[in-house]
Structure 1
Amino acid sequence: MAVAKLAWHGRERLVLLRVREGALVAHVLKWDDEVRDPSELAPKGAKVTDSEIDEALQLVDSMTTDDISGYRDEYRKALEAVIEGKAKGRQPPEPIAEAEEPGGKVVDLMAALRESVRKAQAARRGEGADDAEVHEMPTAKEKTAAKAARKAPAKKTAKKTAKKTAKKTAKKITAAKKPTRRQRGA
C-alpha cells in the first residue's frame, strides 16, 4: 500500500493506493479539516412530554401488523420466471409497455395568431364581424376618468364624465370600423 497525492476536480486529494485482484485501487482519504466532529451531527435535545410519548407509542402500535401474508415480492417472482425460462432455452417475455397517457391537443400558435389577426382585420373592415371581437384600448384620460368614477361617490359630475367617455368610445369604435384610405386602396 502507499499514500499519495492526487489532483482531482481541481483539488489536491490524499489517496491510499493498493493492488486488489490485479487492479490498482485508489481510496480517497479526507484531510484533517474535512473530517467533521460527530458531536456536530448529534440531534439537538428536545423536550417531550409523557403524553406525546404515549401518543407516539399508540401510533406505532396502530401501524404495526404481525400478518405480512398480503405482501409479495413481485419483482423476485418475475426475475425467477425469467431465469427459469432462460435455463429452459425460452426467450424472456417482452416487457409490458406502459400505456402512454393521452397528451393535450397540440396547437400551432403561429397559425392561431395569424387566424386571429385575419379575423380582427376582417372585423375592422366590416367583413364577418361575428367571427372576432375588436376592443379599443382606452386612452390615458379615459382610464383616469373610469378610475375616478369608481372611487368617487355617485354624483352628477361623475355621471356626466361617464356619459362623455361612453360617447367618445362609441365614436372611436364607429371610426375604427370605417376603412382608411390605405385600406380602400386610395
Structure 2
Amino acid sequence: MPRSIWSGAISFGLVTVPCHVVSASEDHSVRFHQYHLEDMARVRVRKFCEVEDREVRSDEIGKGYELTKTQVIPITDEDLRNLPLPTAKALEIHGFVPWESIDPLRIGEGYYLQPDGQVAVKPYELLRQALARSARVAVTKFAWSGRERLGLLRVRDDVIVLHAMRWPDEVRDPAELYPPEADVSDAEVDEAVELIERMTTDRLEGPDFVDHYTEALEKVIEAKREDRELPEAPEPEKPAGKVLDLMAALQESVDKAKASRGEDTGTDAQVHEMPVKKTAKKAPAKKTAAAKKSTTAKKTAGKKTTAKKAAARKPRRSA
C-alpha cells in the first residue's frame, strides 16, 4: 500500500473530509550512483561547516533565510508547522471550473486522496459523486513543502485525485518564441488534419508507448552482469533530407499511416505483362514430325522385311 505523504482535510463549505494524500505515480527509472573509477568505491557527499571546517551531523543542520552575507534568520520546523494559514492542514475549495478551462501547463504532479477513517467515508463519497455529476473540477489551496499551492480536485474512477498547480506567474510567456509568419494553404492544412485522423488512437497503449530506453538499459546491465557481448544498437533511420514539397511529404505520411493500420493507400498498383516465349510450342511440333518419320520408316522397313520373307517362301511352294 502506498505510504501517506500528507494528512489533512478537504474543506468543502461546512463539510470537512479528513484524508490522506498518497502518490498516484511510480518511477521505474534505472538509477545510478557515483563510484571512484580506480577502486569502484562509492562516492558520497558530506556536509561541512564553512566556519569550523568539519563535517556536521544531520541533527546539527537547520533552515535559515539569508538577509545578507553576514545575517541569517533561523527558521525551525515548528515555525513552519505553526504558520498562520488556514491551508496549513486543509485543502480549501475556493471554486469549481470546467476541466477544459485549465491550461495543461499549469498542472503538476497527481496524488490520490484516501478517506481517513470510517467517519470520512460518507462525506468523501458525497464529494466524489457531486464532482462526477457536475462535470467540474474543484480549485483548492493548500500549504505543502514550505509553500502555499494551488490544486485541482477531480474524479478518476472511484477516487478523488489532487493535482498540484502552478501559479499564473510561474508560467512563462511564450510571446518571444512565436515563429515568423508563413503562408500555409488550406490544402496543406486539410492534409495535415487527415494525417492527425489517421494517427488518432483511443488509448495510449501498445508498442509505441513503451519505455524502450529503460528496456535497452536493463539489457545492457544484464549483459555486463553475465559478461556477455553487449546488444548491438540498431542502425538509426537515415533522414529523408530537406523537404522541398510539403504536400508530398504530408501525403507520404498519410499513406504510411494507412499502411501501418492495414488500410488501402489508394494508389494504383503498376501491373507489368510478362512476355510470352514464341518458341514454347515449336519444340513439341518438331518431336511429332520426327516421330512421324520414325513411324513411317519403321512401317516401310516392316513391309520390306515381309516382302523378303514372302520371296523366300515362293520356291518352296513351286517344289
Same fold (TM > 0.5): no
TM-score, structure 2 as length reference: 0.16
Instruction: Select the structure that is richer in strand.
Output: 2
TM-score, structure 1 as length reference: 0.23
Instruction: Select the structure that is richer in helix.
Output: 1
Q: Which has the higher contact order (CA 8 A, sep 6+)?
A: 2
Structure 1 or 2, whichever has the larger Rg, is 2
